[in-house]
């Protein structure tokens, strides 16, 4: 019998990685992947809890499966990820169609839980086969094994894989649910990180992105001295066949200079930082419990740019946090001008149950003000990007070619499609800028030099440098 599973992933890179990891034991148990939710025997939603909107989407998807469940009882619905962790039993109690609730610390059990739930499908007898698995704090060798025995899964970004260096977060920013749903910081052994990376490269991976919610917190005691992220970069960098190495997300504190130095010294390490500021106002940063001032953030950015030439920085901001005034918004605009990010992700504050902000401070910025502030920040960032990108016209940049471009970008006005022997390709620079150019199919998976001819806020257009 050919059993199928359907999996949908919401949220951050951690969840994307977790989804790849749970596929391996499922396929070993005889399930094959399908993109058709209607016919799937197993349906998995890997969920995010970071904002209310992310949870609402899941509740609506779960609701859509109710009538099929009541009529046919012919599928197992598993809710995994951060929202599963946050809501737990509540999901089973509220939704008869949900059979398995499994938090991020228990995904090594997922296949067993699904099989157990499948045994009584169809029968109307009491569903004592439904389960909740939620512990995020135990140190489980089986969970670690899921990472170390994974297979490369070719997702939307070919040649690219995420490798976890740590789990959890101890920071407890006042607005954030992540420490509650992902548990305490746990650092993976360096050997496991390197072995896993090496195996991925053997399977065709060219670019590795090391993952952690506070990736620069990674540390390990080794022969009487403390290793940090710089040691991970050095060790993974040595893998033959690896072309590029990145890491996200960086917290703008406890970021050791030797990590910046490693970025400068190691040619495969991309000059790219994802460095969320969250606000440009000291008052807001304090209220958020971020433990740094705008001045300290800017000093770090300046030092990073001194040590790492051509560093490109992406940012995150929250607008409309509790008590945010127009003057705070103005300070955030000023910070965006000063830092000159490559791009910014901007989010409207969403109170999360159980966090300090939710319990202590009022969500007092009206939705339309949040929306206006969000648009303002993005508009300014777009101006910054357009201007800074224009300055790159004429430069030749190294591009890792990801594949054929989906739609024609160059020569939009010309009626003739690009010649078959030089199709339109798309790739990325080390600074994570998207570049479209006419090249050779053979370039796919290689790093090639491309001279930039034209730019927009989000895309570069270029020509293969001779
Ligand atoms: N670990 C990363 C961020 C993880 S969450 C860091 O500390 O930078 C990703 C982003 O979601 C955050 O950077 C923040 O901008 C946003 N975010 C987190 N909690 C939020 C909330 N309650 N409402 C709105 N945005 C939030
Ligand atoms: Fe959340 Fe702050 Fe941890 Fe990032 S550092 S995951 S924002 S608590
Ligand atoms: Fe969301 Fe969990 Fe990531 S809450 S942002 S999926 S760690």
Same domain, 40 and 176: no
Same domain, 68 and 17: yes
Residues touching ligand 3 (Cβ under 6 Å) are 11-12, 14-15, 48-50, 81-82, 177-178, 181-182
Same domain, 279 and 296: yes
Same domain, 401 and 386: no
Identify the residue whose C-alpha is closest to ligand 3 atom 1. Answer: 48
The atom number, within ligand 1, closest to the CA of 352 reads 22
Q: What is the pLDDT of residue 126?
A: 55
Instruction: Read off the CATH number of the domain in which 24 is found.
Output: 3.40.50.12160
Centroid of ligand 1 to alpha carbon of 183 (angstroms): 16
Q: What is the pLDDT of residue 406?
A: 79
Q: What is the pLDDT of residue 414?
A: 55
Centroid of ligand 3 to alpha carbon of 375 (angstroms): 24
The atom number, within ligand 1, closest to the CA of 345 reads 15
Q: What is the pLDDT of residue 466?
A: 77
Identify the residue whose C-alpha is closest to ligand 2 atom 1. Answer: 176
Q: What is the pTM of this model?
A: 0.95
Same domain, 187 and 333: yes
The atom number, within ligand 1, closest to the CA of 348 reads 24
Identify the residue whose C-alpha is closest to ligand 2 atom 4. Answer: 213
Same domain, 242 and 268: yes
- 178 CB less than 6 Å from ligand 1? yes
Domain boundary among 112, 133, 154: 133
Residues touching ligand 2 (Cβ under 6 Å) are 169, 171-173, 176, 178-179, 213-214, 251
Centroid of ligand 3 to alpha carbon of 293 (angstroms): 25
Q: What is the pLDDT of residue 415?
A: 58
Q: What is the pLDDT of residue 356?
A: 97
Q: Probe ligand 2: pick from 178, 347, 350, max atoms within 8 Å of CB?
A: 178
- 461 CB less than 6 Å from ligand 1? no
Tens of each residue's pLDDT in the chain, 466 residues? 689 999 999 999 999 999 999 999 999 999 999 999 999 999 999 999 999 999 999 999 999 999 999 999 999 999 999 999 999 999 999 999 999 999 999 999 999 999 999 987 766 665 677 888 898 877 789 999 999 999 888 766 779 999 999 999 999 999 999 999 999 999 999 999 999 999 999 999 999 999 999 999 999 999 899 999 999 999 999 999 999 999 999 999 999 999 999 999 999 999 999 999 999 999 999 999 999 999 999 999 999 999 999 999 999 999 999 999 999 999 999 999 999 999 999 999 999 999 999 999 999 999 999 999 999 999 999 999 999 999 999 999 999 999 998 776 655 555 566 666 678 999 999 999 999 999 999 999 999 999 999 998 889 999 999 7
Domain boundary among 133, 160, 175: 133
Same domain, 436 and 364: no
Instruction: Read off the CATH number of the domain in which 191 is found.
Output: 3.80.30.20
Domain extent at residue 210: 141-390
Q: What is the pLDDT of residue 266?
A: 98
Centroid of ligand 3 to alpha carbon of 303 (angstroms): 30
Same domain, 350 and 323: yes
Same domain, 240 and 180: yes
Same domain, 318 and 231: yes
Query: How many independent structural domains does the chain possess?
Result: 3
Q: What is the pLDDT of residue 138?
A: 75
Same domain, 193 and 229: yes
Instruction: Read off the CATH number of the domain in which 402 is found.
Output: 2.40.50.140
Domain boundary among 81, 109, 133: 133
Furthest CA-CA distance within the chain: 71
Same domain, 309 and 251: yes
């Amino acid at each position: 019998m050919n059993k199928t599973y359907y999996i949908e992933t919401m949220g951050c890179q951690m969840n994307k990685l977790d989804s790849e990891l749970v596929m391996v034991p499922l396929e070993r148990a005889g399930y094959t992947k399908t993109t058709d939710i209607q016919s799937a025997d197993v349906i998995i939603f890997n969920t995010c809890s970071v904002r209310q909107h992310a949870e609402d989407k899941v509740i609506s998807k779960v609701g859509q499966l109710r009538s099929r469940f009541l009529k046919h009882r012919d599928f197992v619905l598993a809710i995994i990820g951060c929202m599963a962790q946050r809501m737990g039993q509540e999901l089973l109690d509220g939704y008869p169609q949900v059979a398995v609730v499994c938090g991020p610390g228990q995904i090594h059990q997922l296949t067993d839980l699904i099989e157990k739930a499948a045994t009584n499908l169809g029968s109307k007898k009491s569903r004592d086969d439904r389960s909740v698995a939620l512990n995020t704090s135990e140190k489980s060798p089986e969970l670690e094994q899921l990472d170390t025995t994974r297979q490369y899964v070719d997702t939307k970004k070919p040649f690219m894989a995420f490798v976890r260096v740590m789990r959890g977060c101890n920071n407890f920013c006042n607005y954030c649910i992540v420490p509650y749903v992902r548990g305490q910081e746990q650092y993976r052994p360096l050997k496991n990180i390197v072995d896993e990376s090496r195996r991925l490269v053997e399977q065709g991976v060219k670019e590795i992105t090391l993952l952690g919610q506070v990736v620069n917190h990674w540390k390990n005691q080794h022969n009487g001295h403390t290793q940090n992220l710089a040691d991970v970069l050095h060790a993974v960098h040595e893998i033959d066949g690896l072309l590029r190495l990145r890491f996200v997300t960086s917290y703008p504190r406890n970021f050791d200079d030797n990590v910046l130095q490693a970025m400068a010294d190691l040619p495969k390490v991309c000059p790219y930082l994802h460095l969320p500021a969250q606000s440009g106002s000291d008052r807001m940063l304090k209220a958020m419990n971020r433990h740094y001032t705008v001045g300290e953030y800017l000093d770090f950015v300046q030092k990073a740019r001194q040590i790492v030439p051509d560093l490109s920085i992406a940012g995150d901001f929250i607008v409309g946090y509790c008590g945010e005034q127009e003057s705070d918004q103005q300070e955030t605009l000023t910070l965006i001008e000063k830092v000159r990010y490559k791009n910014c992700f901007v989010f409207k504050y969403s109170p999360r149950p159980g966090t300090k902000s939710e319990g202590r401070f009022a969500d007092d910025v009206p939705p339309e003000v949040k929306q206006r502030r969000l648009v303002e920040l993005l508009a300014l960032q777009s101006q910054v990007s357009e201007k800074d990108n224009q300055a790159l016209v004429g430069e030749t940049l190294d591009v890792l070619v990801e594949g054929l471009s989906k739609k024609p970008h160059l020569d939009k006005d010309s009626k003739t499609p690009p010649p078959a022997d030089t199709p339109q390709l798309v790739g990325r620079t080390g600074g994570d800028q998207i570049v479209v150019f006419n090249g050779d199919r053979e370039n796919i998976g290689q790093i090639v030099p491309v001279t930039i001819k034209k730019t927009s806020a989000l895309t570069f257009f270029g020509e293969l440098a001779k």
